[in-house]
Amino acid sequence: MGKKRFETAVIHEGYDAKQMLGSLSTPLFQTSTYEFQSAEHGEKCFRGEDTGYIYTRIGNPTVHVLEKRIAELEGAESGLAFSSGMGAISAVLIALTKANDHVLCSSGLYGCTFGLLMMMKEKYNMTVDFSDFTSKEEIRKQIKPETAVIYVETPINPTMKLIDLQLVAEVAKEFNIPVVVDNTFSSPYLQRPIELGCDVVVHSATKYLNGHGDVIAGLAVGKKDFLDEVAATTQKDIGAVLAPFDAWLLLRGMKTLPLRMDRHCDNAEKIVVKLVDHEKIAAVYYPKKDEGNVYSKQMSRGGGVIAFEIKGSKEDAQKMLNKLTFAKVAVSLGDAETLIEHPATMTHAVIPEEERIKMGIKDNLIRLSVGLEAWEDIWEDLEQALHTF
Ligand SMILES: *Cc1c(COP(=O)(O)O)cnc(C)c1O
């Protein structure tokens, strides 16, 4: 059989039940350590002459199935699992940089990624610049001799602006700079940056990949040589490894990723149409609305997150959120439940006001992670809440 299609790989890749007493479900290896066959076997394992397991921070069979599976789904050589998205992001960024290096980032970044880069800037005298990555000339101008990484999020949270990954990868190749992409919002089902020429993909698997709001986890995929280096250094020695049980839950949650993602997209597309037509809504941001070239080049669908501006104030936004009946006022995204939040006072509150406004995060902006409920119910809940101001 040739390469399996996405929907098959997400269920089967990296696991052979026949080698595990026929257990259909991937066994949970809930162990911290492993007994060697002999003292000599232990010596060989430590020398790397035998692939036997030693200790779960260095490797675990349940976690390995997950790592093989995500690598296959992203079209990458190799994968690694971490105890959180930030565990993955910090391990990758620290492995790729040294003191005095320069990092070029997308102009919108997940808050803790921004915080990590600011800490590295302070401690290691690094420099960090932000780019809209709109043209090759613009990117070339922002690259310095000491640029060590280009780090991109697309769609950008919460404004849902897109960055052309192929364009960024082409310029990065000219300078031999690795491109790291945070693919959390799309999941590999909708967007595969490695296929577009990017080098490393990181995920908060807490979101769509797990999809059930009950795990914090991170993943990174890329070339085997680089991930082996991460595994032996910033993963093993900093130690943000994924617990076997969380890997087991994630393997279970991921089996339905294509089904869930299509439903998230179906629901989001319906809600976008309603929001655009509503008299209390000033603007709606959703990838599909950007019908340009970039969208069709790199995304198969728009995903489940919508941002919108109400014709009202911060207080009106808060009144609206308070009036919702089953949509949950909460951060995070990608769960079965519809989640809604106010970026200016929650996820993006740490960004100074002036910068926040420049990024398009106004006081009347609301971020909605459309859940798997009946879209009509989601809309009815939003609609009645829009009447409160
Ligand atoms: C949530 C999130 C992260 C951080 O992931 P954790 O699993 O919470 O550590 C990073 N990037 C994006 C885009 C996210 O949404």
Q: Would you say the CB of residue 298 lies under 6 angstroms from ligand 1?
A: no
Domain boundary among 225, 254, 283: 254
Mean pLDDT of the region 314-323: 97
In contact, 256 and 182? CB cutoff 8 Å: no
**Domain identity same for 242 and 377:** no
The ligand 1 atom nearest the CA atom of 89: 10
**Domain identity same for 275 and 239:** no
Residue 181 — very low, low, confident or very high, per pLDDT cuts 50/70/90?
Answer: very high
Residue 376 resides in a domain: yes
Mean pLDDT of the region 91-120: 95
Instruction: Please give the pLDDT value at position 355.
Output: 84
Domain boundary among 239, 254, 269: 254
**Domain identity same for 299 and 346:** yes
Whole-angstrom Cα distance, residue 372 to residue 261?
9
Whole-angstrom Cα distance, residue 96 to residue 90?
10
Strand partners, 228: none
**Domain identity same for 219 and 347:** no
CA of 348 to the centre of ligand 1 (A): 13
Domain boundary among 254, 277, 292: 254
Q: What does DSSP say about strands 102-106 and 147-153: parallel, antiparallel, or unpaired? A: parallel
Strand partners, 207: none
**Domain identity same for 50 and 63:** yes
Q: Would you say the CB of residue 110 lies under 6 angstroms from ligand 1?
A: yes
Q: Which tokens belong to 11?
A: 């269920």
Mean pLDDT of the region 383-389: 95
**Domain identity same for 181 and 201:** yes
What phi, psi does 137 have (nearest 5°)? -60, -45
pLDDT tens, 239-253? Answer: 999 999 999 999 999
**Domain identity same for 261 and 241:** no
How many distinct structural domains can be found in the chain? Answer: 2
pLDDT tens, 266-296? Answer: 999 999 999 999 999 999 999 976 567 899 9
Q: Which amino acid is present at 132?
A: D
**Domain identity same for 244 and 268:** no
Q: In this structure, what is the dihedral angle of CA atoms 263, 64, 216, 375, given to the nearest 10 degrees?
A: 0
Domain that holds residue 69: 6-96+167-254
